[in-house]
């Protein structure tokens, strides 16, 4: 067993397949000293705010009445924590530009410099604080993913750089971490060992000609099956089936262009399928312990995506609808968009709840997932009392199944400090206006 590793290298085939966690490949002493399951963080961003009257529960505690927008998550209510009274005031812009200012500060709690040039200035984001502290424990310290692409240069919002509107993960003041939006590239990065910078033509040829990654490692997998425990055999079988199914689905969708600008994705790439594929990739990355920190942008800031694919009556771009002018028709449209957005978040939560960890807990029990937007109401562009939803148990440090009303005007940075604790990272301050750690227990 000492010759086995968590990755099978096949130089001739040019393929690397990451294995799930198998106790059988550990030395006996390590098996007897297995620690608790890994702790994880996921940050899920949606643009243009939320229709707040249909979001905030009217009472606190576990017996709150589910607001309309959160009704699609009723089946997983016991895993959710609705948090109110959280502000991200550093996100307020200098003049116009609330989407850029709010998105720039989304995970940094830093007031960003207003510029369209290369002199951008932000700060390290909370996901990268966690990723740095956990570095070396997984193949990827973090994954930055999303649906809409686009470059981080030029202006995108009232004098603010596109770097602020198209990124939520920042390694430092001038270093946004670009997200991957093509599920084929994500799959190759996680499972295929290929270079994600390769050209679209190369990826198309590879999709046409390649056999399944699992076909390359069939012999190695069969040899491994003879040397591991019965429980690990079942785990490996489940893993191989999952990866093969994912690759089949990816191949069936074609290469899919990468969106280079904010707004509605290209018509030839189905939005719902795009979300489903990215959800499966994120859950698989967590299940296989390839990373413990993920950020996901459902769209870029100020997205004008049309949602007629949900309902033909949902006409108008999302950004324009968010400036609802208190018109009931626009309120109803925003509610439908918001319900769909939270349900995409719920898809990840549901999947994690079905994954059993080494100690019998679920992956969701050991994960903290964060859902929010850069502003509260899209019409007023408020950066106070933002819509915040947590999911998961945070390794026992989060008490879900309730509406938690934080003290009025609590900094969002306080919540992030509390989230850091769930992955074993202790910090006293973060961002520009933290005042302490928000207790999530």
What confidence score (pLDDT) does residue 212 get? Answer: 54
Mean pLDDT of 171-179: 97
Q: Is the pLDDT of residue 249 over 80?
A: no
CATH number of the structural domain spanning residue 156: 3.40.720
**Residue 236, domain member (yes or no):** no
Lookup: tokens for 145: 């993913």
What confidence score (pLDDT) does residue 288 get? Answer: 86
- Identify the domain containing residue 77 by its residue range: 36-182+256-422
**Residue 307, domain member (yes or no):** yes
**Residue 224, domain member (yes or no):** no
What confidence score (pLDDT) does residue 190 get? Answer: 83
What confidence score (pLDDT) does residue 10 get? Answer: 39
CB 184 within 8 A of CB 250: yes
Q: Is the pLDDT of residue 178 over 50?
A: yes
User: What is the tally of structural domains in the chain?
Assistant: 1
**Residue 387, domain member (yes or no):** yes
**Residue 118, domain member (yes or no):** yes
User: Sign of the CA dihedral 3, 33, 138, 20?
Assistant: positive
**Residue 16, domain member (yes or no):** no
How would DSSP label each residue in 123-136? ---HHHHHHHHHTT
CB 191 within 8 A of CB 128: no
What confidence score (pLDDT) does residue 4 get? Answer: 44
**Residue 407, domain member (yes or no):** yes
φ, ψ (nearest 5 deg) of residue 190: -80, -40
What confidence score (pLDDT) does residue 96 get? Answer: 96
Q: What are the percentages of helix, strand and coil residues in the chain, rounded to 5?
A: 40, 15, 45
Count of residues making up the chain: 441
Task: Output the pTM of the full model.
Answer: 0.82
Mean pLDDT of 259-278: 60
* Average pLDDT value over all residues in the chain: 85
CA distance 422 to 271: 32
Region of poorest pLDDT, from 99-108, 200-209, 231-240, 285-294: 200-209
What confidence score (pLDDT) does residue 337 get? Answer: 98
């Amino acid at each position: 067993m000492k010759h086995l590793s968590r990755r099978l290298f096949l130089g001739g085939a040019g393929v690397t397949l990451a294995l799930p966690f198998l106790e059988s490949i550990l030395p006996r002493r390590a098996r007897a000293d297995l620690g608790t399951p890994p702790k994880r963080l996921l940050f899920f961003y949606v643009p243009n705010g939320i229709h707040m009257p249909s979001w905030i529960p009217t009472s606190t505690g576990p017996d709150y009445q589910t607001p309309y927008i959160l009704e699609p998550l009723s089946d997983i209510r016991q895993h959710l924590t609705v948090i109110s009274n959280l502000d991200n005031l550093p996100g307020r812009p200098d003049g116009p530009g609330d989407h850029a200012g709010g998105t720039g500060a989304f995970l940094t709690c830093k007031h960003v410099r207003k510029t369209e040039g290369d002199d951008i200035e932000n700060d390290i984001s909370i996901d990268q604080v966690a990723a740095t502290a956990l570095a070396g424990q997984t193949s990827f310290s973090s994954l930055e993913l999303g649906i809409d692409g686009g470059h981080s240069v030029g202006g995108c919002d009232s004098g603010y750089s596109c770097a602020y509107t198209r990124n939520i993960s920042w390694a430092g003041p001038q270093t946004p971490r670009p997200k991957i939006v093509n599920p084929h590239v994500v799959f190759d990065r996680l499972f295929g060992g290929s270079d994600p910078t390769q050209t679209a033509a190369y990826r198309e040829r590879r999709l046409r000609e390649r056999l399944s990654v699992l076909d390359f490692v069939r012999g190695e997998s069969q040899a491994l099956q003879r040397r591991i425990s019965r429980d690990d055999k079942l785990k490996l079988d489940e893993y191989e089936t999952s990866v093969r199914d994912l690759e089949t689905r990816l191949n069936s969708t074609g290469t899919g262009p990468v969106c280079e600008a904010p707004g509605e994705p290209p018509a030839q790439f189905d939005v719902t399928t795009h979300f489903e594929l990215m959800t499966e990739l994120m859950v698989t990355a967590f299940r296989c312990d390839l990373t413990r920190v993920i950020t996901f942008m459902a769209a870029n800031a100020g997205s004008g995506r049309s949602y007629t694919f949900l309902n033909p009556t949902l006409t108008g771009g999302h950004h324009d609808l968010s400036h609802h002018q208190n018109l009931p028709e626009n309120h109803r449209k925003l509610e439908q968009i918001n319900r769909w957005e939270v349900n995409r978040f719920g898809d990840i939560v549901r999947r994690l709840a079905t994954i059993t960890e080494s100690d019998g807990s679920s992956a969701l029990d050991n994960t903290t997932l964060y859902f929010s937007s850069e502003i509260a109401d899209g019409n007023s562009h408020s950066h106070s009392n933002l819509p915040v939803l947590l999911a998961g148990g945070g390794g026992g440090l989060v008490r879900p199944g309730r509406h938690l009303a934080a003290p009025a005007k609590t900094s969002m940075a306080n919540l992030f400090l509390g989230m850091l604790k769930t992955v074993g990272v202790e910090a006293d301050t973060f961002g520009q206006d933290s005042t302490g750690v928000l207790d999530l227990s």
